[in-house]
Amino acid sequence: MSNITLKEVKSKNELKDFVKFPFKLYKDSEYWVPPIIADEMATLSSDKNPVFDHAKARYFLAYKNKTIVGRVAAIINKSETEDQGLKKMRFGWFDTIDDIEVTKTLLDKVEEIGRENNLEFTEGPVGFSNLDKVGALTEGFNQIGTMVTWYNHPYYAKHFEQLGFTPEKEYVESRFYMSQLGDLRFMKAYNLIMKRYGFKTGNFTTTKELIPYLDTMFELFNNSYKDLSTFVPISNKQRDYFKKKFINFVNPEYIKFVFDKDDNMIAFAIVLPSFSKALQKVNGKLFPFGFLKLLKAKKESKTLLFYLIGVDPKFQNKGVTAVIFYEFNKTFKKHNIETCIRTPELVNNTASQQIWKEFNAEVIKRRKTFKKML
């Protein structure tokens, strides 16, 4: 008989145990990037995160000899299961020691909840929506993580497959160096495109200038990604939540907009400074000095994360991305940026892959979600 017990998280202290388990699991890892504990608690709290207007989640901790050895979030997104008719049981925030019995105990519970709710399959690791972290790392374990991705040990994928899960979606993360860019085609094309289509660009130096455009940007985000198989639209309340959550991390110079000749927003791109090293130093705590370390990274980081890029489908073959990269190139040179990292992007998102083909970008990580029929 298994000596593993499962306990559902019910109290704030138990939720803190849930959030802090990876700090113990990865304490010797030079590649794991810890979240801010208070932010993670808010993300997982139904009274703080507006995603719970149309999602529900239950959190479980696995214990062995009274010690926490694993965790999982069992998630149902009603926008997906009811509005889209996709009978999917999500699981995320999955972490475990290298013990197949612990993984089995956690995922059996997820499957049980899925069946109770008449769902057809389970898939993970995924978050509540498209703006959450996604996928278990399958390659690139010797690369430092980012604030927008999960890191995990190599045995996770083996555990999933051993328990009858099959790879469902694959994502790649790539890296390119500013020194490699040279005189790319997008630089030559910029003037031609701007003249031909009458495009205009939006560049900002203060957060105050940026704020009036953010709602339109989220509408464009929903429109740009709606045809992807993984997409769940972002609600207005979620939009406000994400604005508040990320605004302190964004350097306004690293958000670019493109408008058509009638001043309609047709493209946006968000780049974040890399906070990985700073988050490792902070180790989950903003106070007393963590916030200052993050502020320093925001101003001084020479590595950037391409977080999101969205183009109105009607303009996707009109050279809009050349305009965005031309503007970014000027900003990056001004700040002596050295390295750019592309956050996870679906392997079969060919429109996005096309954008990067000129950049000599090398794939540094792969990650997958895993699926099992219920």
pLDDT tens digits for 97-128? 999 999 999 999 999 999 999 999 999 999 99
Report whether 307 contacts 343 (CB < 8 A).
yes
pLDDT tens digits for 292-327? 999 899 889 999 999 888 899 889 888 888 888 889
Beta strand pairing call for 88-96 and 121-124:
parallel
Set out the domains of the chain in order of their start, with CATH numbers. Answer: 4-172 (3.40.630.30), 176-373 (3.40.630.30)
Phi and psi angles of residue 86, each rounded to the nearest 5 degrees, phi first: -95, 110
Could you tell me the maximum CA-CA distance found in the chain, to the nearest angstrom?
Answer: 73
Nearest to 233 by CA among 244, 246, 243, 224: 224
pLDDT tens digits for 147-161? 999 999 999 999 999
Given a cut of 60, whether residue 1 has pLDDT beyond it is no
| pLDDT tier, 182 (very low <50, low <70, confident <90, very high otherwise) | low
Cis peptide, bond prior to residue 50, ω within 30 of zero: no
- Chain position carrying tokens 């000129």: 358
Report whether 278 contacts 35 (CB < 8 A).
no
Rounded to 5°, the CA angle 128-80-120 comes to: 100
Q: How far apart are CA 143 and CA 249, in angstroms?
A: 22
- Chain position carrying tokens 């997104």: 77
